[in-house]
């Protein structure tokens, strides 16, 4: 409906412009004077020719009376044509004054067509200018409308898609049901929610697999160790070469089984290497934008970041901030304090909540895989957020530090400056 109003308004404006242009184009510079008034001027001047000092102009026309010698003997006002040449140039009306059959002079009636034409031009220009301004205002308004209802939602979808592609499923997609894409974006957020559930189920399955592998490793290694111990005793007391060879073979197979079980257990811990990190030089103002994106509940006052170039992967750094803010939202549920400090070779961003922190003995293990604090009971999560964030920071030549601050858990993200001594980028 809004688009229909816009189109109708635009058509009316264009029609007004076209009509004004047609009217203006059809105007002629020659404006015929009122013949009745001209005749009245000639008659009155002829009647009063001998005493023009008492002559009274009864019309709306301006005119000049000259004698046969060209001398001005009467004029209604200054600024009129006072000679035949001026009258011809100005395209004034000239009539002979005849008294008793003798031409005694001329009356030059001023042609105001140029002023009339100029006034009409100004009127037309004013109308067209107003129409064009109105048309431009409508176009600007519609452009703003399109940006708010089409362009901006698509930009949000782009950033949302990058986060989902990067594996970040915690940040919801903010929707505005008043625009055209409200229901459309809601479908994407439903998809994110379902993917998050699937990811949690997968994480639980991975945890179960890890526990199963660990249990099987222990259960298998115990009897294998017993078999190897008995075989070593048998090898020690065996007298025939055949028995010694058999016991030796059993011991070798037991060692082989033990190595295979160890490799199987280790392989379950290598999945993290599938997450690629590609650092590059990015401007520090982008870091502030990432912090603002991560703080989607607007619980923090994001400060300005000192201007510099940092060595980081934008997508992975965004995921680091997302994980930190998501943890604060889930566990502390308080306001968040954010500070930024720049040194010679790095910039450190501290993010602290007001939740009281965690027990001191739990801090070292919070960055481990599948490890969660004691305050995480009845709260969904897989214990991978800080573990993955720590891995990303190491790959970006940075650090992720955890400590109990003055008010709660304080997470400090340290990024290397491009060109610093700790910078690993290409020279």
Cα separation, 72 vs 88, in Å, equals 16
Q: Assess contact for 95 and 111: CB atoms under 8 A.
A: no
Spatial separation of the C-alpha atoms in residues 266 and 250, rounded to whole Å = 24
Note whether 135 and 13 are within 8 A (CB).
Answer: yes
Mean pLDDT, residues 368-390: 70
Question: How does pLDDT run across 157-166, given as a tens digit for each residue?
Answer: 666 667 766 6
Q: Convert the pLDDT of each residue in 210-243 to its tens digit.
A: 667 666 665 677 688 778 888 888 888 888 888 8
Measured between alpha carbons, how far is 386 from 320 in angstroms, rounded to an integer? 8
pLDDT number for residue 426: 40
- The pTM assigned to this predicted structure is 0.44
**Coil, helix or strand for 167?**
coil
Yes or no: is domain 280-416 CATH 3.30.565.10?
Answer: yes
- What average pLDDT is seen over the chain? 78
Q: Identify the burial level of 226 via C-beta atoms within 10 angstroms of its C-beta, where 0-12 means exposed, 13-18 middle and 19 or more buried.
A: exposed
Collapsing DSSP to helix, strand or coil, 203 comes out as helix
Q: Which of 392, 378, 385 is nearest to 203 (CA)?
A: 385
Q: How confident is the model at residue 257 (pLDDT cuts 50, 70, 90)?
A: confident
Say which range, 83-87, 261-265, 406-410, has the weakest mean pLDDT: 261-265
User: What number is the average pLDDT over the span 165-186?
Assistant: 63
- Give 337-341 contacts, CB < 8 A, sequence gap 24+: 337/300, 337/301, 337/407, 338/291, 338/300, 338/301, 338/302, 338/303, 339/303, 340/303, 340/304, 340/305, 340/306
Q: Which residue has the tokens 């058509």?
A: 11
Residue 82 vs residues 63, 77, 164, 195: alpha-carbon distances, Å: 9, 11, 88, 94
Range in 75-84, 238-247, 250-259 the model is least confident about: 250-259
Task: Out of 7-11, 25-29, 154-158, 288-292, pick the least confident.
Answer: 25-29
Tell me the average pLDDT across 144-153. Answer: 73
Of 12-21, 54-63, 332-341, 387-396, where does mean pLDDT reach its minimum? 12-21
**3-state SS class at 409:** strand
pLDDT at 304 over 70: yes
Task: Show the tokens assigned to 351.
Answer: 């993010």
Q: Is residue 307 within 8 Å of residue 316, measured between CB atoms?
A: no
Q: Is the pLDDT of residue 427 over 50?
A: no
- Among 300-304, 362-366, 390-394, the range scoring the smallest mean pLDDT is 362-366
The arithmetic mean of pLDDT across residues 406-413, rounded, is 92
Q: Which helix (H) or strand (E) holds 281?
A: strand 280-283
Q: Is the pLDDT of residue 403 over 60?
A: yes
C-alpha triplet 241, 247, 248: angle, nearest 5°: 85
Q: Among residues of the chain, what percentage have pLDDT more than 90?
A: 15
Give the pLDDT score at 411.
94
Residue 319 burial (CB count, 10 A): 25
Answer for the pair 218, 262: CB distance below 8 angstroms, yes or no: no
Mean pLDDT of 90-107: 86
Look-up of token digits 């801090």: 363
DSSP states along 57-70: --SS--EEEEETTS
- pLDDT of 413 reads 95
Lowest-confidence pick of 185-189, 345-349, 423-427: 423-427
Handedness of CA 159, 161, 166, 168 (dihedral sign): positive
pLDDT value, residue 72: 86
Contact between residue 419 and residue 346 where contact means Cβ atoms under 8 Å apart: no
Half-sphere exposure of 85 (CA within 13 A, CB side): 1
**SS3 call for 328:** helix
Least confidently predicted of 41-55, 102-116, 146-160, 224-238: 146-160
Beta bridge partners of 414: 348, 399
Give pLDDT, residue 291.
Answer: 92
Q: What separation in angstroms does the CA of 98 have from each of 35, 49, 70, 106?
A: 18, 10, 15, 9
């Amino acid at each position: 409906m809004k688009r229909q109003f816009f189109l109708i308004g635009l058509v009316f404006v264009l029609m007004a412009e076209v009509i004004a242009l047609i009217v203006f184009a059809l105007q002629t510079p020659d404006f015929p004077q009122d013949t009745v008034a001209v005749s009245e001027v000639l008659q009155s001047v002829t009647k009063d020719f001998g005493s023009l000092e008492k002559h009274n102009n009864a019309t709306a026309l301006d005119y000049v009376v000259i004698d046969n010698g060209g001398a001005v003997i009467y004029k209604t006002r200054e600024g009129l044509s006072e000679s035949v040449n001026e009258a011809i140039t100005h395209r004034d009306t000239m009539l002979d004054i005849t008294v008793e059959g003798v031409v005694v002079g001329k009356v030059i009636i001023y042609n105001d067509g140029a002023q009339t034409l100029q006034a009409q031009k100004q009127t037309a220009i004013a109308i067209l200018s107003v129409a064009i301004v109105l048309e431009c205002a409508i176009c600007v308004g519609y452009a703003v409308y399109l940006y708010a209802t089409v362009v901006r939602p698509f930009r949000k979808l782009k950033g949302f898609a990058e986060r989902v592609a990067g594996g970040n499923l915690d940040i919801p997609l903010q929707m505005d049901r008043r625009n055209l894409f409200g229901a459309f974006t809601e479908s994407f957020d439903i998809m994110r929610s379902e993917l998050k559930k699937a990811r949690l189920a997968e994480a639980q399955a991975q945890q179960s697999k890890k526990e199963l592998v660990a249990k099987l490793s222990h259960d298998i290694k115990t009897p294998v160790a017993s078999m190897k111990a008995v075989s070593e005793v048998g090898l020690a007391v065996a007298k025939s070469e055949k028995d010694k060879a058999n016991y030796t073979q059993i011991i070798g197979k037991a060692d082989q089984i033990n190595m295979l079980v160890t490799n199987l257990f280790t392989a379950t811990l290598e999945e993290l290497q599938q997450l690629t990190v590609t650092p590059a030089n990015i401007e520090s103002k982008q870091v502030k934008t990432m912090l603002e994106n991560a703080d989607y509940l607007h619980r923090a006052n994001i400060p300005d970041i000192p201007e510099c170039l940092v060595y980081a992967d934008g997508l992975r750094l965004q995921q680091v901030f997302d994980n930190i803010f998501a943890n604060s939202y889930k566990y502390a549920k308080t306001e968040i304090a954010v500070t930024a400090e720049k040194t010679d070779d790095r910039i450190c961003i501290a993010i602290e909540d007001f939740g009281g922190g965690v027990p001191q003995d739990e801090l070292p293990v919070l960055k481990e895989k599948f490890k969660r604090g004691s305050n995480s009971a009845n709260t969904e999560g897989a214990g991978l957020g800080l573990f993955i964030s720590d891995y990303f920071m190491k790959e970006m030549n940075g650090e992720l530090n955890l400590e109990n601050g003055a008010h709660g858990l304080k997470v400090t993200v340290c990024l290397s400056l491009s060109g610093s001594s700790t910078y690993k980028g290409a020279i």
